[in-house]
Each structure stands twice: as structure tokens, then as C-alpha cells.
Amino acid sequence: MAARDAGGGEPLLSEGAAEELLRCICFKTGPPRMVGIELEWLVHEPDHPGRPVEPPRLERVYSGVRELPLRSALTFEPGGQLELSSQPATSLMECIDSMATDLDTVRTALRAYGLGLDGHGHDPWNPPRRLLHAPRYDAMERYLNRTGPAGRSMMCSSASVQVCLDAGFEEPGPLGLGRRWQLAHLLGAVLVAAFANSPAARGRPTGWRSTRQALWADLDPVRALAPEPGAPPRTAWAAHVLDTPVMCVRATEGPWPSPEGLSFRQWIRTGMPRPPTRADLEYHMTTLFPPVRPRGHLELRMVDAQSGEDGWKVPVAVTTALFDDPEAAEIAYRTVKPLAELAGPLPAPRNPLWTAAARDGLTDPELHSAAVSCFTVALEALPRLGASSAVEKAVAEFLDRYVQPGRCPADDFAFHHGERRNVHHSKEIHP
């Protein structure tokens, strides 16, 4: 009979049970057929994006938005960013069309309040400020402040396009779990470079084309990293989760304590400050922010939010095509595999490949070459996935405007009354 916690609730967790649980619930294999999207947005006045929306006004607006009839789940990030998470869809176009409908509904509601959605990976104008106050966010900010200001900026000023895809077959091959796991961490750098869209903070260039990605790399010694490369996905991820420090211990009342230097594995072994349960392990996983997070499916988290009403569709279409079309997946894997040598032994996003992607975008020659090949093959694969002509056109235009000439959306950003400046001269972040 399993041991139970002191309150007679959930069974206590042994180290072996935790490892087995992580192996089972984080990678659910089978034929890739589902796709989902999570879109985060900054909320600003369209004509005055550098003017912070006052919290009482934003609270009134969000109270109304919560009542909208949406298929997507609507949530809000600590800095007031609005997030829509789609339901899993059985096709690319089902997912895109459903999200587009919900976005139209949200935008219409926000316009009535004089507000709009802004697609940048990091707020270019305003300093970070936390609007949501709950034990989780209090503990998160307290923990992340130990390593500097990057955590607060990540919580309150960042926004992304996240693409969720099935983990793949158990067997080897273009659509197999092992191949898709490796592809995600190599192609991820290409996606960072191509879709980099956060070159500014507080109205000034940061020196990075993707300030958001630079913040993730600077966030925490372990929490935002991928597992050590080379090991099988289940083994690597289970070890990574258990050896990452605990951000906080949930409590029924009062502040949640943030023990310093306590990994989840140590928590299991010591049972202090109280023995952990399965719910604690599942919560702990939500406090890890790697570029690819397995949640049964694979959640690709590395793409900056995109400008314009439909800019988000391009990374969703390209990523889905390169993972779920067998021919495109094979070509993409062969294209990005040599990038592993450039990455070296360090896990993403702290290796040289990911640093170059965030700082230099597609001016980096290796990333540029890989992006041209990958976007071209993705465009060829979209008809096989049933993509609409409008989606194909959007990808083709992005390829012509950005990828072919070695540019990214960050290169369009204008500083100081429309003066455009080059933003890759510095490695320093000033969020």
C-alpha cells in the first residue's frame, strides 16, 4: 500500500515513481495528427503603444473579454499579456481557422475599449510591471529575482507564438519521437532567427534581434534550458525535471516558500519542507521553461510574437509542415543536422547556435542557408497538408521579404521617430 501525505490525501512520491511518471505522461507517442497554437499578445492603445494601459482600465476590459464566446482558452499573463490557447485540431487549417475566428472576436471587443493586440516578442516601449498578484506569481518573481532582472521581463513583457505538435511514432524515422525531438532543438534555432521580432526595450535597441530569446537564456542556470543533448528524450527529460531546482512549494495559506537550491530529486529524498506528491511534480513541470516542453505532445516555445493581424499564421504553417509532412520532415532534418556541430555540447538556448540566432537573426550565414532550405520545403509541403491559398501566399511572401534576403521582422522596427537602426552591434541586454 502506497504511503500517503500527512493529511491523508495524495500518495507520496518515490524517486522511481517520479521518473516513471515523467516518462509516461510527457511523451505520448502515435501517428502525428493533432496541432495546437498558443498565442500571447501585448495589449496597447493602437495609436499610443508606448503609453501603458492603467491597471484599473485593463481589469475592466478583461472582465468583459472573459465573457466572450470563444473556442480557445483565454488567460492572462502576469504583465497583462493576453493569451489564447486553441483546442487540439486534426488539421492545420482547422487550427488556423478556429484561432482566426477567436482573434477576430477578441479584437472587436478590444476596439470598443480603444485597445488592440500588439505582436512583438518583447514590449519595445514600457518597463516590466506585474499586474497579476497570486501566490504562484509572487513566488515566481521572488525566485527569479535571485538571478537578475531577466525573469521579471520574461513574466511581464514577453509574448510568443507557441506551436504544439504530437510527439510522433515510437519507431525511428522522419516522424519518430527521437527524430522529432532532435529536429525541434536544431530547427528551433532557425525559427528563432527567422521570426526574431523583439529588438527593443524601453524604446531603445537591446543589441538582440530577439530580446525575448536572450532573456530566456539569461533567466536561470537550469530552468529555461533544454535537457543535455544526446540522451533519449524520455531519459533526458526525466533527469532534467528532477534535477531542476524547485521554484516554490505550494501552500494552503500564506506565501509559498521558495527553498534555495533544492532540486525536486532532493525534495523527494529529504521529504522537506514536506513530502512531495504527484500534484507537486506536475506543478513543478509548469515552472520549467525550456524551448521545447513535452506535455504528452511537444510544445515549441521559441518563436517571438509576430506583427500584423495574420503574421502568426506563418510560423504555425511552417513549423507544422516541417514536422508533420514526412518528406518535408526528412529534408528539414538533413538540413539542420549539421547545425549540431555549431551548437556544441551546451544545451539550448545557451549554446553558440541559439545565441547567434537571437542576436544576429538570418544575417548568420549558416542559419540563413538552413532557413532558405527549410522555408522552401515547407512551402512545397503546405498543399499536401491542405493549407489554404491565403496561408501559402503568406508563407511565400515571408520567404521573399525576409528569408531570402537574410532579414527578419526585427529588422523592420523603427527607433526614435521612425529612424531605423541596425541592432546587432551589441551583446548587452537592457530590458
User: Does residue 4 register a pLDDT over 80?
Assistant: no
Task: Give the other-Cβ count within 10 Å of 372's Cβ.
Answer: 19
Proportion of the chain above pLDDT 90, given as a percent? 90
At 203, the pLDDT band (50, 70, 90 cuts) reads: very high
| pLDDT tens digits, 260-284 | 999 999 999 999 999 999 999 999 9
Res 414: pLDDT: 82
Report residue 12's pLDDT band, with 50, 70 and 90 as the boundaries: confident
Tens-digit pLDDT profile for residues 244-265: 999 999 999 999 999 999 999 9
Note the pTM of the prediction, 2 decimals.
0.94
Task: Give the three-state DSSP class for 246.
Answer: coil
Which CATH topology does 15-413 take? Creatine Kinase; Chain A, domain 2 (3.30.590)
Asked if residue 428 has pLDDT above 50, the reply is: no
- Amino acid at the residue 194: A
Say what percent of the chain tops pLDDT 70: 94
Distance CA(218)–CA(155), nearest Å, equals 13
Which of the four pLDDT bands, split at 50, 70 and 90, describes residue 1?
A: very low
- Judged by average pLDDT, the poorest of 161-175, 186-200, 306-320, 403-417 is 403-417
Round the average pLDDT of the chain to a whole number and report it: 93
Q: Contact at 8 Å (CB) between 238 and 19?
A: yes
How open is the CA angle 111-112-114, to the nearest 5 degrees?
A: 60
219, pLDDT greater than 70? yes
Res 431: pLDDT: 54
Q: How many CB atoms lie within 10 A of CB 235?
A: 14
How far is the C-alpha of 372 from the C-alpha of 307, rounded, in Å?
21
| Domain range list for the chain | 15-413
Predicted local distance difference test score (pLDDT) of residue 415: 67
CA distance 424 to 431: 16
The pLDDT-based confidence of 424 (bands split at 50, 70, 90) is: very low
SS (H, E, C) 113-179: CCCEEECCCECCCCCCCCCCCCHHHHHHHHHHHHHCCHHHHHHHHECEEEEEECCCECCCCCCEHHH
* Residue 427 confidence (pLDDT): 40
Q: Which three cell numbers mark 54?
A: 492603467
User: What's the whole-number mean pLDDT along residues 50-64?
Assistant: 95
Q: What is the mean pLDDT of residues 79-85?
A: 97
Kindly provide the residue ranges of all beta strands, DSSP E only, lying in 169-320, ordered along the sequence: 200-201, 204-205, 292-295, 297-304
pLDDT recorded at residue 394: 98
pLDDT digits over 126-168, tens only? 999 999 999 999 999 999 999 999 999 999 999 999 999 999 9
Round to whole Å and give the CA distance between 212 and 104.
26
pLDDT digits (tens, 9 = 90+) for 96-135: 999 999 999 999 999 999 999 999 999 999 999 999 999 9
pLDDT of residue 220: 87
Axis crossing angle, helix 92-112 with helix 55-65, rounded to the nearest 10? 130
Burial of 343 from C-beta contacts in 10 A (0-12 / 13-18 / 19+): buried
How high is the pLDDT of residue 426?
A: 38
Residue 5 has pLDDT above 70, yes or no: no
Calculate the alpha carbon distances from 353 to 90, 117, 200 in Å: 33, 31, 21
What does the alpha-carbon distance between residue 66 and residue 61 come to, in Å, rounded to a whole number? 9
Cis omega before residue 52 (within 30°)? no
